[in-house]
Structure 1
Amino acid sequence: MQKTFYQKELLIKATQQRKGANNNKKDIEKIQSWLNLFAMQNPSSGTATGIDGDFGPATEKAVLNFQKANNLAQTGIVDQKVFDILVSPLKKAFTSPISGNNLRELILSAAQNHLKNHPFELVINSQSNTGPWVRSYMDGHEGTDWFWCMGFVQAIIDQAASVQGKNFKTLMPLTYSCDTVGTTGLQKKILTRFQTARTNPALIKPGDIFLIQKTTNDWFHTGIVAKVQGDIIETFEGNTNSDGSHNGNAVMNRIRNFKQSKIDFFSIESLVV
């Protein structure tokens, strides 16, 4: 794989605890982030707490509650073994086996695997687009200005392509920009414009990348095509929400009407062959 930053998110440098001699802010923020992500899926767990890099009594109680919810020894201390359980959704998303008879099926398998592990951004220091999932998709970058929909798309394609020993960067450059991928598609003549796609939906295939136009050569949101049926596409997309925002907070499986929106399609066929 080319995008391997997620590996750094799976580790802490030292055991962290209240008044610990080896405490450090980054590790504590990681722990607090995962306690909050756990709370989103388990709202009665009592693990939601502030993300401030300070292992105080609130964080200690949240850790105790997490340990109780997972039938662990209730110590209030986070060593690497406890952290492994905290970060298990991220590890499963990036390392669990994916299956498929071809690259397109592998891409959809990888996207589905990420989806079921609930990637979600956090707000840290008043900055949206932050947290371990965002950093993993964005190679360590995070913050309000770091829209992560393309980071998600490339992480999925990279993961699938690597199973076949392929490098996704032969198809497009490593980027976080929809415009860069759209421009690359135009240069390589593998971008189907929305007018053509509307009249010939057979050109759209699962595993291809959709790009929503702002203007002719300006795209503002992206995702992966899962299915094409009639006037609609089913998608996997990051940095979105139930309204289909390009600056939402989650990975979602969405439905879009491509005949009522200006959606261009970037073909991955040359990587498939």
Structure 2
Amino acid sequence: MLPTTLRDGAYLPKRVKEEIDFDGPIERGAKKMRAQRVQEFLTLNGFAVSVDGDFGPATEKRVRDFQTARGLPATGVVDIKTHEELVAPIVKALNPIAAGGKSLSTLAAAYAKQHIKSHPMEAGGDNRGPWVRSYLDWDGKDARWCAGFVCFALEQAAHTLGGQLPIDSSSSCDVLAMEAKTAGKFVPESRVKSGAFAKKDLVPGSFFLVRKVPGDWVHVGIVTAPSKESFDTAEGNTDSGGSSNGFEAAERARDYRSKDFIVW
């Protein structure tokens, strides 16, 4: 059963539905993913517990703590009301934004900012947790999810507008760059630096790519506001230092050095 707070028109691929669907009460003794998701969502909501896929006494206590904090009966059992509270941050990020004349690009930026309000974070280890699986359909040490984050926002925008994606989604920065080149939507740093491409045309929703060396990009995010010497961003799998393997989605500011762009 999907949360009642999920509004009609939301973009809901199967991988995300699996993260937020309620398939019955979860209590002490539950194992594997049923227990793991409870532990991850508790942690994401500020009630940290070991994420080991074993619903034992510590998990039960944290469920009771969470229920008490949310004004629910402290049973230690994840019923439908508790489940809805646990998954609420993801549901808020999924809920549709009215198109209101917005372009694909500006709507993608709006969705990215909506996600950041729910503070997507890893849970249970490096590149792990419900947010990562929602963006990529898998998680684990090598699940760099920056590309998944930006592509999901673009997918939401295309879904809302009833249109097609301008390029295929990918979990790889390099693949996104190559697809954008093929589609004629890639803008190299040299064109921006020379003024051949005006910075003002980096409209909200454009992608930026952090270039390590020519032909190799290590991070991608969404431009939300360009200016003369820097631009504001919404990006996933980053941290306060702008790492390409951080732990959260956040708004940042970046300069134009070693950046290429994809413009819709």
Q: Does 1:167 align with 2:168?
A: no
1:75 paired residue number: 75
Number of corresponding residues: 250
1:220 paired residue number: 218
Deviation at 1:60, TM superposition (A): 0.8
Q: Does 1:134 align with 2:141?
A: no
1:17 paired residue number: 27
Deviation at 1:249, TM superposition (A): 0.6
Deviation at 1:234, TM superposition (A): 0.5
Deviates most, 200-209 or 179-188? 200-209
Percent identity over the alignment? 35
Measured at CA, do residues 71 and 117 of structure 1 come closer, stay the same or move farther in structure 2, by a change above 3 Å? same
Deviation at 1:190, TM superposition (A): 1.8
Pick one of 13, 33, 40 that aligns with 2:40: 33
Amino acid at match of 2:68: K
Q: Does 1:147 align with 2:144?
A: yes
Deviation at 1:236, TM superposition (A): 0.5
Amino acid at match of 1:102: K
Measured at CA, do residues 206 and 226 of structure 1 come closer, stay the same or move farther in structure 2, by a change above 3 Å? same
Amino acid at match of 1:63: V
Q: TM-score, normalised by structure 1?
A: 0.87
1:245 paired residue number: 243
Amino acid at match of 1:246: S
1:87 is paired with a residue whose SS is helix
* C-alpha distance in structure 2 between counterparts of 1:211 and 1:98, whole Å: 28
Measured at CA, do residues 225 and 3 of structure 1 come closer, stay the same or move farther in structure 2, by a change above 3 Å? farther
Q: TM-score, normalised by structure 2?
A: 0.90
1:94 paired residue number: 94
Q: CA RMSD in A?
A: 1.5
Deviation at 1:12, TM superposition (A): 4.0
Amino acid at match of 1:143: G
Question: Unaligned stretches of 5+ in structure 1?
Answer: 40-46, 269-273
1:255 paired residue number: 253
Q: Contact (CA 8 Å) 1:212, 1:219: kept in 2 or not?
A: yes
Structure 1 residue runs of 4+, over 6 Å off? none
1:88 is paired with a residue whose SS is helix
* C-alpha distance in structure 1 between counterparts of 2:194 and 2:100, whole Å: 30
* C-alpha distance in structure 1 between counterparts of 2:78 and 2:156, whole Å: 30
* C-alpha distance in structure 2 between counterparts of 1:90 and 1:110, whole Å: 12
Q: Contact (CA 8 Å) 1:191, 1:266: kept in 2 or not?
A: yes
* C-alpha distance in structure 2 between counterparts of 1:133 and 1:141, whole Å: 10
Question: Unaligned stretches of 5+ in structure 2?
Answer: 1-10
* C-alpha distance in structure 1 between counterparts of 2:100 and 2:122, whole Å: 29
2:45 is paired with a residue whose SS is helix
Q: Contact (CA 8 Å) 1:240, 1:250: kept in 2 or not?
A: yes
Deviation at 1:188, TM superposition (A): 2.4
Partner deviation per Cα, 1:34-75 (whole Å, 9 max, x = no partner): 111111xxxxxxx21111111111111100000000000111
1:187 is paired with a residue whose SS is helix
Measured at CA, do residues 99 and 166 of structure 1 come closer, stay the same or move farther in structure 2, by a change above 3 Å? closer
